[in-house]
Amino acid sequence: MRMSLASGLVTVSLAAAQAASLEPPAAASSCTGCHPANAGVETPVPRLAGRDAADTVDAMEAFRSGQKPATVMDRIAKGFTVEEIQAIAAWYAAQR
């Protein structure tokens, strides 16, 4: 499991280097329904843009496994593949 996570972080790091010039992954559009794009919006739901990709991957994995309590993110996270989570995390990390 740790080896998988470590290789995933390498993938996220590589993807993050390319993410700034890419269109958002198709799955990223589902995030904007709850996560604000504007830094000036006050909400208990955290902003994803600029957030460290590894933190996003860790949170999504914790939601998927049930280690992190959630209202809907546990169900949403289970709908994404590991690769989709990594791509979404990398893209949001590259946004400012």
Q: Which residue has the higher pLDDT, 6 or 55?
A: 55
The third-level CATH classification (topology) of the domain covering 2-94 is Cytochrome Bc1 Complex; Chain D, domain 2 (1.10.760)
- Interatomic CA distance for residues 13 and 70, integer angstroms: 26
In the structure, what pLDDT confidence band is assigned to residue 69 with cuts at 50, 70 and 90? very high
Higher pLDDT, 86 or 32: 86
In terms of phi and psi (left: phi > 0; alpha: psi -120 to 50; beta: otherwise), the region of 82 is: alpha
pLDDT at 76 over 90: yes
Predicted confidence (pLDDT) per residue in 9-62, tens digit: 555 555 555 545 568 998 898 898 999 988 888 889 999 999 999 999 999 999
Domain ranges of the chain: 2-94
**Contact present, 36 and 45 (Cβ < 8 Å):** yes
Q: Is the dihedral of CA 29, 30, 31, 36 positive or negative?
A: positive
The amino acid present at 14, given as its one-letter code, is L
The reported pLDDT for the residue numbered 65 is 96
CA–CA dist 40, 31 (Å, integer): 17
Count of helices and strands (H, E) across the chain: 4, 0
Comparing C-alpha atoms, which of 93, 96, 92, 81 is closest to residue 24?
Answer: 92
* Model pTM score: 0.75
What is residue 14's predicted lDDT score, i.e. its pLDDT? 55
